Structure 1
Amino acid sequence: MCVENTPPPPSRLTRRGILAGAAALAGTTAALSAAGTSAAAAAERNGRSADSGRATTGDLVIEGGTLLDPATGEVTEDAVVVIVDGVVRAAGPRSRTQVPEGVDVLDAHGRWILPGLVEAHIHLNTADEAKEAVLKGATSARSGSTNFYQDIAVRELARQVPQLAPRMRAAGIFVTPDLGDTILADPDLTPLAKLRNGVRSLDALRRVVDVNLDRGADVIKTRVNERAGLPEQDPLAQVYDREQLSAVVAAARRGGSGVLCHSYSEKGCHDAVMAGVRSVEHGVFVGERTLHEMRRRGTYFTPTLTAIAGLAESSNPVLAERGRTYLPALEHAVLAAHELGVPLAAGTDSSGGEVDPIGREVELMRAAGLPALDAIRTATTGAAKLLGIEGTAGRLARGFAGDAVLVDGDPLADVTVLKSPVHVVRSGIAL
């Protein structure tokens, strides 16, 4: 059945209301209102006027700690990081770094300073989840999709009040055969409810991508296999073939976006890579031929080790056995990918109101066999490049965002310290 026989309502009439509904569901409207009240009160105390159209950023000096630059591996003791209006103006040894007067100082003596971490696969449905992700170290993130565009609302929250949410690349809604209740959230999707077999035709796939892009999605999320986290589904069963995936990729590219693809089986991973996806998500049974193709194309691998390890702790025996079986296979795939030069990105796949620290994914990358610095890069420079923000996030250098984490202990000796940041700085504001 061709969906194009039923024209959608004019998008100009629906987009504002749809995204307002997403903001209400995510709780970002209330968060913005509260933040605006707090900003106005602070401005009044300081004898200034509040500018509601301007993002809340800060001036801060972080001094005395040991600074790690993931890009070079350089370690600087007794370092100083100067952040002005949310942007790094200088970072280096105290002896060569000029510190402005009258700026708040965060004492980092005895601690290590790293750039804010980048979470490449997370599902942030609410303002509360977004704030928790930041407090656990993720100052930038890519959405793995939400049911009603809540991630787009979270992205707008981050733009206006950065300390309340990670810098976001939003995926909007999942391009999947069964949209479920998501169809109810958007009049432009309602014609798809008539399809007997769900979103499978090339026209239907293009429609979902186009609607996502019209609503403001930065990236597109689709799948090639069923889910591992549902005991009744077979994660090796393929739901889209290469032609269908290619249609999703082509539609996304026309809108200037890339595609992240939920994948498990070797054939599914290979079809996704050959279709041109930007990144393979999960990828437990990805094989050597596909990894070679990923290296050739620059396709990223986001293994979400945290999510797979979590299955082994499930009370459901099917999921627990799946986790115990899948985790060693995925660890092997991660190490093979690293040794071949396939770019890796850290993502926890947190969802359902539970936010895992992105440092846990770094820990599991290290456990899979990556050297500590390379494991850290998967949540800094590597993930930043995947998100297209490598000039903004992943380092603490002049011109980069004033996002940082302070940890107790040397992460090059023990990456587990990244799971529990002592301080998080977002856009020059210490949280």
Structure 2
Amino acid sequence: MSNRPLAVTDATVWDGLAEESRADGGVLVGDDGRIVAVGGSTEILERAREIGADVVEARGGVVVPGLVNGHVHLSLALPGPMQDAIHGADSAQLALFMAGNARETLHAGVTTVRLVGEARFADMALKKAIEVGAVPGPRIRTAGHALCCTGGHGHDADGQEADGADGFRRATREQLRAGADLIKVCISGGIAGEHESIDTPQLTDDEMAAVLSTAHDWGRKVTAHAGPAPVIERAVALGLDAVEHGYELTPELCALMAERGVWYTPTITVSRCEEFFLANGVPRWMIDRALGAGPRHWESLQHAIAAGVPISMGTDMPPHAAYDGTTATVREIEFMVDAGMTPLEAMRASTSAGAAWMGEEGAYGALVPGAAGDLIVLDADPLADISALRTLHGVVQAGRVVRDDRGTLRPGAAA
């Protein structure tokens, strides 16, 4: 799918990788939706004229890569009305519900998502629809169903139940058959399971090994919903690639994760978002469990930062959900800075690191030649103050303007 080339000039530009932003810069995106050049405004303007690109001026605004949210459920089904709505929806209704969330996610500046558990393989259909331009939404990398033991975490939401090494091997292959880009497995309890606790071990070593070996044979990474350190240590020893949540990490475990290159997606918002839970009718037992996990969860993130564990940003909450005067995505990134990351580290974790997690460096999450022309426009530089993300007012996906609050991204708007 092609469109007219687009040049954004008169901007401060951060490319998702560099240690600082560049003033008086610009970005040129070709008709294939990929970046042709990043450089000074004058250089970009000259090259834009050569290829007949539309030119817009950011008017001194800040341009950074589109955000990559690494822990998303577009059919989120928390206990209560949210779960009832998803369970009561037929396949068509589910797909439309997810498409609506995908559109809102894109408009929130998230141009790529990693889905880590969806129902009925609607995520596969939505991914294809977005790729061909039938519906608006972020680039999708998806795990299909999350894998869990009988009665395990997620069994009543997006999980596929299995038992024994052969059962988990088959369940993994079923996700791969459907087109999974990665595999997600629930190896312990969590916040949303009524009949479990966060530290409940849920898979045997044989079961975990079956998932890992099968996925790795197919060239797919495996990430684990996990809470307690002992369970995670067993999985890391078996070759786990990444940890989601990690509610109870220790300094020793984080040192091991860093040594072995095991990624961490903290989803720190989920243990401090009472307002969101109340607004969506989540039962009190889950709210109390989530908030009760908060202090230890925060320590886990700090341990990971101190140890140098590779971190990718993910919310678990809907990326676009209203939260503390902004979106869940922006608030997650702010929390990461509050916990000890520098704004630069948090921004990398929210852009280029998301592509690196998938082994797709340079394909998206960075403003470099050949990468997808995904970018957002802000009023201020988030490398100076991470809360500048709250000033987002423009979103470009593959060179197409999909959000333009001020009308400044229309060709000729600056004339």
1:210 matched residue in structure 2: 173
Q: 1 CA distance for matches of 2:195 and 2:105?
A: 30
2:383 matched residue in structure 1: 412
Change (3 A) 1:261 1:254: same
Change (3 A) 1:371 1:296: same
2:265 matched residue in structure 1: 302
Indicate conservation of the 8 Å contact 1:281/1:303, yes or no. Answer: yes
2:84 matched residue in structure 1: none
* 1:255 aligned partner, one-letter code: W
How many positions carry a matched residue from both structures? 364
* 1:359 aligned partner, one-letter code: V
Q: 1 CA distance for matches of 2:354 and 2:223?
A: 13
Q: 2 CA distance for matches of 1:242 and 1:104?
A: 56
Q: Is the counterpart of residue 237 in structure 1 residue 204 in structure 2?
A: no
Alpha-carbon RMSD across the aligned residues, in angstroms, is 2.5
Indicate conservation of the 8 Å contact 2:104/2:320, yes or no. Answer: no
Secondary structure, counterpart of 2:377 in structure 1: strand
Gaps of 5+ in 1: 1-54, 184-188, 193-197
1:172 matched residue in structure 2: 144
Q: Is the counterpart of residue 223 in structure 1 residue 176 in structure 2?
A: no
> If you compute each CA radius of gyration, which structure gives the higher value, 1 or 2?
1
- After TM superposition, list the pairs within 5 Å mapping 1:226-265 onto structure 2: 226-265=189-228
State the identity as a percent: 29
Give a deviation string over 1:270-320, Cα, whole Å, max 9, x none. Answer: 122222221100001011222122111111000111222225764444333
Query: Offset at 1:58?
Result: 4.6
- After TM superposition, list the pairs within 5 Å mapping 1:266-285 onto structure 2: 266-285=229-248
Q: Is the counterpart of residue 335 in structure 1 residue 285 in structure 2?
A: no
Indicate conservation of the 8 Å contact 1:312/1:320, yes or no. Answer: no
1:73 matched residue in structure 2: 19
Indicate conservation of the 8 Å contact 2:99/2:135, yes or no. Answer: no
1:378 matched residue in structure 2: 349
Task: Give every structure 1 segment of 4 or more consecutive aligned residues whose post-TM-superposition deviation is greater than 4 Å.
Answer: 351-357
Residue 69 of structure 2, aligned match among 119, 139, 145: 119
Secondary structure, counterpart of 2:39 in structure 1: strand
Residue 99 of structure 1, aligned match among 19, 37, 47: 47
Please state which structure has a larger fraction of its residues in helix: 1
Query: Offset at 1:57?
Result: 4.6
Change (3 A) 1:129 1:56: farther
1:140 matched residue in structure 2: 112
Q: 1 CA distance for matches of 2:365 and 2:271?
A: 25
TM-score, normalised by the number of residues in structure 1: 0.79
Q: Is the counterpart of residue 387 in structure 1 residue 358 in structure 2?
A: yes
* 1:83 aligned partner, one-letter code: V
Q: 1 CA distance for matches of 2:35 and 2:135?
A: 16
* 2:147 aligned partner, one-letter code: V
Q: 2 CA distance for matches of 1:163 and 1:70?
A: 27
Secondary structure, counterpart of 1:100 in structure 2: helix
2:331 matched residue in structure 1: 360
TM-score, normalised by the number of residues in structure 2: 0.81
1:18 matched residue in structure 2: none
Q: 2 CA distance for matches of 1:420 and 1:267?
A: 41
Query: Offset at 1:262?
Result: 0.3
Indicate conservation of the 8 Å contact 2:261/2:310, yes or no. Answer: yes
Q: 2 CA distance for matches of 1:351 and 1:251?
A: 30
